[in-house]
Structure 1
């Protein structure tokens, strides 16, 4: 039986004697898909996660836990983990990315920061939130040399491979000293929702949450792969977030150290994203993310300038990677204050 038929049969069971319409929505980077379920007086969101491709159990467990601790995540109305169906509270269509302008960003980001801080205060159950291990962090960075570099036709010499390994290790050495908290892992403008009648933002796509460095979610939003702000704005948000941290998170950690921590975390994330976007295209046939490659690379190049200990990696990116990268993905023109004033952010 086709999954559409299975979904309709299941909905008839969980919504007995109710007329409903199913409207399937555009897909994302995963194997999950979503549909809006319209009833006469209300609507829900259906998550369709084929069990052989996706496991709904982490979503259910983490959603329940986070909700019980005050995080604004969708309520689960019904579930069938065997078939891979979830019926969820519908957060609507207003992605944060669609309302960000130069006039609104400070207000929305301040609220987003508050919700990160709140998330970081939640006790992390080891059974629910795996450790963001050194191996996992390394595997993510290695997507850069496993997917991006081959796509550019770059074969590493032994010296270059050693340099990358040493650079990854330096990054890890910094990250392991950062306070560990619950990390959403994809906390950006397309995973936050503006909710009708609520001052808090709805948080989605949290099923891959882990316990890891406390700068991760911050840089996910202020250095969003899909939107860019002026460097001085971003620097101001880093300082603002530092001021919102608990005193325990600041012990032995000056604001200068926190700024460096944010830069290093950004480098790790953007090395990963560059590899993931190429993988989505080469392996999964999803080309929509390629248009954001040049922005992510621009971020990485700026961040490397603030880490003198990664000079060898910076030179490799500039001298070896960029000539071929520009041919393949183009050159990103950094947003200007004039452009922001006229049109908001480049979402």
Structure 2
């Protein structure tokens, strides 16, 4: 695509999708080649979201060339400074998270998601069914009996009803520390091709209740307040009352984490990617904590603990 052979070509890694990346070095710069079988990955949403984000002033990798028919996209190389390894302490992490919150508010206030797929009730339900199929069914080896399945269905209906009552807007859908790169001291956004029109709290959940790194409840609460204040000031349609917003944040997090459990199990058992197994206890911990806090979710929490062979004698509800 650049008309000349690179001096070197090395793997730039892969992600949880079917894409693979190659770093091509030239005398004056390096570039990234995003490579995916076009039968398995449609590059059109990636290219469309990249253009929209760039036009809104959000730092994303520039598209240098593309050959969609061959599944190739040539991208600006933003380097290797992923945010996650820089979150070495709560003090340092807070500085970076505040930058990420500012970036999120910019995305939410500048981008119109009306043309994007709707992250609606059916979409959210399908995602949680990944958790039932792959995490409960395959990873834990349990097929729910009639009573358990009815309990699961009631719980999923409650979660969907709460989440679809939220204000909706542009939603990145995977806004977390592994998809944020540090470039010249600022943050750039990756992996935006799955953006949808969805609940206002979702991307903040992805950021603060990250599947790959966790923080104390006080730390998360403080940053959620900072986001809420900045979002309101920017005209983002968050809830008028912070307590309502934080409850919405928790219920949306439960939906996301039930899906993530299924995705991590599927990556292991179907795709042979074992590295995600280490993060399952963290994600399940998020699920347990939310189920403990809300009385409507107590039956779901007990079911999940039973499936793990665990018992819990003390719970708190709000």
Structure 2 length as normaliser, TM-score?
0.92
Q: Could you report, residue by residue, the CA deviation over 1:177-233 in whole angstroms, capped at 9, with x for unpaired residues?
A: 2111111111111110011x2x43010011001010011110101111010111211
- Cα distance, 1:149 vs structure 2: 1.3
Question: 230, 238, 247: which one pairs with 1:260?
Answer: 247
SS in 1 for 2:58: coil
Cα distance in 2 for partners of 1:297, 1:23 equals: 36
Pair 1:132-2:101 in alignment: no
The answer to whether structure 1 residue 323 and structure 2 residue 309 are counterparts is: yes
Q: In the TM superposition, what are the counterparts of 1:175-186 in structure 2 within 5 Å?
A: 175-186=163-174
1:173 aligned to which of 128, 136, 161: 161
1:147 — aligned with what? 134
Distance 1:321 1:314 in 2: 10
Give the 3-state SS of the residue equivalent to 1:193 in structure 2.
Answer: strand
Q: 1:205 aligns with which of 186, 191, 195?
A: 191
Contact 2:172–2:195 (Cα < 8 Å) also in 1: yes
- 1:116 corresponds, among 104, 127, 130, to 104
- Within a 5 Å distance, the mapping from 1:68-83 to structure 2 comes to 68-83=55-70
1:87 and 2:74 are equivalent in the alignment: yes
- Hey, what's the Cα distance between the residues in 1 that align with 2:137 and 2:236? 40
**Which SS does the other structure have where 2:75 is aligned?**
strand
Alignment pair present for 1:191 and 2:179? yes
Q: CA deviation at 1:167?
A: 0.9
| Unaligned residue ranges in structure 2 (runs of 5+) | 312-318
Are the aligned partners of 1:75 and 1:88 in contact in 2 as well (CA < 8 Å)? Answer: yes
- 1:39-92 Cα offsets, whole Å, 9 max, x none, are 101111110011111111111111011111111111100111111111111110
Q: Which residue is 2:147 aligned to?
A: 159
Counterparts in 2 of 1:304 and 1:184: CA distance versus 1, 3 Å: same
Return the alpha-carbon distance in structure 2 between the equivalents of residues 153 and 16 of structure 1: 52
- Shift in CA distance, 187/250, structure 1 to aligned 2, threshold 3 Å: closer
Change in 2 beyond 3 A, CA 1:84/1:227? same
Q: CA RMSD in A?
A: 1.7
Gaps of 5+ in 1: 1-13, 326-347
CA distance in 1 between counterparts of 2:246 and 2:207 reads: 15
* Compared CA separation, residues 48 and 316, structure 1 to 2 (3 A): same
CA contact (8 A) 1:215 1:262 kept: yes
SS, match of residue 121 in structure 1: helix
2:257 alignment partner, one of 255, 267, 270: 270
> Is 1:235 matched with 2:218?
no
Counterpart of 1:302?
289
Which residue of the other structure, out of 107, 111, 129, is the alignment partner of 2:95?
107
Distance between the aligned counterparts of 2:110 and 2:14, measured in 1? 31
Query: Helix, strand or coil: the match of 2:309?
Result: helix
In 2 relative to 1, CA 29–251 (structure 1 residues): closer, same or farther, beyond 3 Å? Answer: closer
- TM-score (ref. length: structure 1): 0.85
